[in-house]
Amino acid sequence: MELELIKSKLHESNFRLTQEREVVLTTFMNSGQMLTPAQLHDCVKKEYNSVGLTTVYRLIEVLTKLGLATPFLIDGEIYYTFCSDHHHHHFVCLDCHKVKDIYECLEMTHKYDDVGTVNYHRMDLYGHCKNCERKNINVKSLEP
Ligand SMILES: [Zn+2]
Ligand SMILES: [Zn+2]
Ligand SMILES: [Zn+2]
């Protein structure tokens, strides 16, 4: 998703993208993985020392409201990933925390017509990515 489009969306919700906030945003967008606000803060600090944790929380809050960030609850921790505004699902690697977007939609909502009207659905897959799976196999084969 284009930065300009995100900027205008943020602007519409009266959120001014200062230089600091923009650094947080681009770091988040380019990370390709899920991060806790504290982890994102650590990444940002490497480049931009003066950014506070509150700034990170505030941006993530706004992005989540706009549908541009999705939270995942894993082992009691809330992680966030940056999201485009096209409907999609996620494959989340529990080892390296990389998130892969899945644009194929498993339409099964029509099965629940008699329960009520479905407005939207969410589905995320959690597991181990190919890369981590290979590493795990290598580690196991080294064990006695
Ligand atoms: Zn997403
Ligand atoms: Zn992985
Ligand atoms: Zn879907």
Q: Is 21 helix (H, G, I), strand (E, B) or coil?
A: helix
Q: Which one is the CATH code of 3-82: 2.60.40.1260, 3.10.20.740, 3.90.1010.10, 1.10.10.10?
A: 1.10.10.10
Ligand with an atom nearest the CA of residue 105 = 3
Is 105 annotated in a binding site? The answer is no
Q: How far, in Å, is the centroid of ligand 2 from the Cα of 72?
A: 16
Is 86 annotated in a binding site? The answer is no
Q: Which of 35-44, 45-54, 133-142 has the lowest mean pLDDT?
A: 133-142
pLDDT confidence of residue 143: 65
Query: With contact defined as beta carbons under 8 Å apart, do 123 and 89 qualify?
Result: yes
> What secondary structure does DSSP assign to 64-119, as a single string?
HHTTSEEEEEETTEEEEEE--SS--EEEEETTT-BEEEE------GGGGTTT----
Closest-CA residue to 126 (of 67, 74, 69, 79): 74
Is 11 annotated in a binding site? The answer is no
Q: How far, in Å, is the centroid of ligand 3 from the Cα of 130?
A: 23
pLDDT tens digits, one per residue of 98-131: 999 999 887 666 777 788 888 888 899 999 999 9
Q: How far, in Å, is the centroid of ligand 2 from the Cα of 143?
A: 21
Q: pLDDT grade, residue 85 (50/70/90)?
A: confident
What token pair was written down for 19? 């230089």
Architecture of domain 89-142: 2-Layer Sandwich (3.30)
